[in-house]
Amino acid sequence: MSQQTTPRLPSLLDNDFYKFTMQHGVVKLFPRAKARYQFINRGKHRFPAGFGDALRKAVDAMGALSLSLEEKRWLATTCPYLDPTYLDFLQGFCYDPGEVTIAQKGEELSVEVEGYWYRTILWEVPLMALISELYYTQNGLERVNNEEVTRISREKIEKYRALDVKIAEFGTRRRHSYEVHQVVVEALKKYGSGTFVGTSNVHLARINGVKPIGTHAHEWFMFHAARYGFKMANVLGLQHWVDVYRGDLGIALSDTYTTNVFLQQFDKMFSKLFDGVRHDSSDPVAFAEQTIGHYRRLGIDPLSKTIIFSDALNYDKVARIAEYCRDKIGFSFGIGTNFTNDVGLQAMNMVIKMTETQPEGDQWIPVVKLSDERGKYTGQPEMIELAKKLLQID
């Protein structure tokens, strides 16, 4: 493989914002916890000979990344809710490639991560971005040129602007490449005035002068289930988030153990404290209806709250959601792969998920996710069944 086709991340901040906000929480609350992650090839993609070696080379290069003083100052100004002690920690942080194990057998790829949670939490997103970019270069798959990427992005954001909706870009994990990602964000900013509100990618937010967007992911609640039990996962996950951020970053992820269970525990205190919720699985209009009903039953005006929709969105889905939600509840959208990998090739279907955690002591505990779509369940079958039984999920 040539040097030109080995992807290199441009910055330690080339990652999704919620990874840093969660890392901040982990450093404060769970500094001794450990975690394991695993690559899941949902799309049954076949990897050519030498792919694992090329990925190893790209991962090893990440050990040289560090936070610059300019980046640190930008974070301090843009994200004042991040403690100065955390920013000092991040300035001294370096990826340890030894935490990542990569193996290839024939056309099958195995990637596993293990280490302290406060460190390993940053691996998921850049690993997926590297796997995606390498997949196209190693297979010799040609994309449309940058001018066409700009045209496609402009056309999309102008259509969304005509809908009078707010759009953020959430596409780091399955982007075609860093180059495409950069072109997309530049186009969204240039042509999306009043509609484009920011990006989940912290590095691209900084260099393009837009807002970094994100709060937390499923693994936050998955860890809490392992540490405190399934019945307490949502409650303590939310409480600990409030303890760290004191009212900032107030969008709660609702579907780690189904929305029904979440809303049972999202009581009046949490419903008032949090600005809104994020939708990541199931029918979005049915979710909006359920959420609006929840707020109304608690005597809370739904128009004072927001739903962030982020599940495999495209124009038709956004239009349908906006038509239902308008004048009923606040809403905005986070669009990922449809922005960053619409280049004439099939996007990869893959995830990297936390599989086990060691909250304290020496015992590793398997973690699971039970989203509103059964096809998105992750974890060991016996642990999934235990969670369903304890949470009374059919």
Using a cut of 0.95, tell me whether the model's pTM lies above it: yes
- Report the pLDDT value the prediction gives residue 5, as an integer from 0 to 100: 65
| DSSP calls for 42-109 | TT-----TTHHHHHHHHHHHGGG----HHHHHHHHHH-TTS-HHHHHHHHH----GGGEEEEEETTEE
* Mean pLDDT over the full length of the chain: 96
Residue 159 three-state SS? helix
- Identify the structural domains of the chain with CATH numbers, from first to last: 9-142+348-391 (3.20.140.10), 146-340 (3.20.140.10)
Given a cut of 70, is residue 114 above it in pLDDT?
Answer: yes
What is the percent of the chain where pLDDT is above 70? 99
Average pLDDT over residues 24-45: 98
Amino acid 3: pLDDT: 39
pLDDT digits (tens, 9 = 90+) for 347-383: 999 999 999 999 988 899 999 999 998 878 889 999 9
Residue 389's SS3 state is: helix
* Nearest-angstrom CA–CA distance, 232 and 64: 39
C-alpha to C-alpha distance for 391 and 235, rounded to whole angstroms: 13
- Residue 374 confidence (pLDDT): 81
Tokens standing for residue 83: 């403690």
Dist. CA 200–CA 335, nearest whole Å: 10
Q: For residue range 246-299, list pLDDT tens digits in order.
A: 999 999 999 999 999 999 999 999 999 999 999 999 999 999 999 999 999 999
What percentage of the chain reaches a pLDDT higher than 90? 96
- Quick one: pLDDT at residue 289? 98
Averaged pLDDT, 208-214: 98
Q: Is the pLDDT of residue 2 over 60?
A: no
**Do residues 126 and 15 lie in contact, with contact meaning Cβ atoms separated by under 8 Å?**
yes
Place 1 in a pLDDT band, splitting at 50, 70 and 90.
very low
> In the chain, which residue ranges form alpha helices assigned H by DSSP?
17-29, 51-61, 69-78, 84-92, 117-120, 124-138, 146-163, 178-191, 202-208, 218-228, 230-245, 259-265, 268-273, 284-297, 315-325, 337-340, 381-391
pLDDT in tens, 197-209: 999 999 999 999 9
Element holding 310 (H helix, E strand)? none
Angle at 341 (CA atoms; ends 313, 102), nearest 5 degrees: 110
**Poorest-confidence range of 172-176, 315-319, 377-381?**
377-381
